[in-house]
Structure 1
Amino acid sequence: MFAAPGQAGHLFGTDSYGRDLLSRIIYGARISIFIAIGGTIVGAIVGVLLGLVAGFFGGAVDSIIMRIMDGMMAFPFILLALILMTILGQGTQNVIIAIGVANVPNFARVVRGQVHVVKNEEYCNAERVIGASPARILFKHIFANAMSPVIVYFTLNIASAIISEAALSFLGLGVQPPTASWGAILSEGKSTLQTAPHIATISGIFILLTVLGFNLLGDGIRDVFDPKQKR
């Protein structure tokens, strides 16, 4: 039975099953943010490794890896995630994998571009002259000095991953009831927009505020790493 916000001691009201919406929003925050961060980590690990290899070795290796990335980027992000969810099936772990795989091309392209800049710096040339191995140059020098934009992109990508999780759950391919996530709550509220609009409205507001917060955090980190851009 629905209860409006503030009724019967429920700050955000209740859903159609009489469950406290505030409790579900708080629990859903843990699920949604966990999936977003987990998916971004998966995409970052795979994408960074591919970008490092493609940018450092160049030639045929670069061409093969980047053509695969271009092929993946030909699909819209949410469409690629939907295809992966259809293949993998429903569940929290599969949502993380789907979001992570869909994020791989973007991370790979960001890292590859940075590697092309860093690998020709004087300190890398000096390492080659003294006989340092490619692995030492790649991971000790290039990797360390190419990570600034990746850290910024990682933070910004969490925001888009939250939206992706919400979209997948809204379409019924993500987190499954009775487990709460913001997307699942939003999906539950779509059928009660006239009778209980607070369900979809409140979950949508929390998605909006969280995404805005991560975007502002990413902008702040970018300003720290690149003060010239701030000016």
Structure 2
Amino acid sequence: MFETNKYPGLDDHYEEKHRAMLVERGEVPPVLRLRGHNPHESLRYDRRYEPYFRRIDLLQFVLNFKGTPPWLNSTAITALTDRWRPETHSFHLALGEMTITLEDIAMISGLPIEGRALTGKVRFEGWRQRVAGLVGVEPPPWIHETNKDPRSSCVLFSWLQEHFYECPKNASPVVVERYARAYLWNLLTQVVFPDGTGDIASWMFLDPLRNWDVKWSWGSAALAFLYH
């Protein structure tokens, strides 16, 4: 039974639904399913992409994650999640409180934390055409007559693999740039901004890659996304 005053300062709404309450009732919380970088849905890296990644200050991030993705201990991550409090944005541990800082994000991921805030509006109208303008291939339209399109602003990782797995050796600079943009889009949406389904890349993270010379604070966006 939930005791209102047992943990003073904590929000009752969150507390009643917190996974830790399972432990209080003598139950074992199930291990969480992680949203992680899937090595089977990676695109092949090409050094011809590096000038573009360097211009947008994401080369170090790409080099950190282009190979085998870091091993994820789902049990340890689940234990940390069970100790996360949304009221304070911190982990409540036996030794005290701990949180993830912007410096942590920068040091671990290699994402830049200086630059413009990664904000803006997402327009659903014509998003397939905008994708085609940036990577050269237009995602197929939704053809089901009765059901609503479940992926109205994103593409499947399998679609990215089908069209951008490996850049042709004799590709023109324009084609190499498109492959580089698709590669970075795929990596960002798998490692930093994963969707709950685990199989799609959202269009809104492709649009900031339109101009390689615009410096975005990707680390700040990653931290905000992680908190969300």
Which TM-score bucket, shorter chain as reference? under 0.3
Which structure has greater strand proportion? 2
Greater Rg by CA: 1
Q: Give the TM-score of the pair, scaled to structure 2.
A: 0.25
Q: Which has the higher contact order (CA 8 A, sep 6+)?
A: 2
Output the TM-score relative to the length of structure 1: 0.25
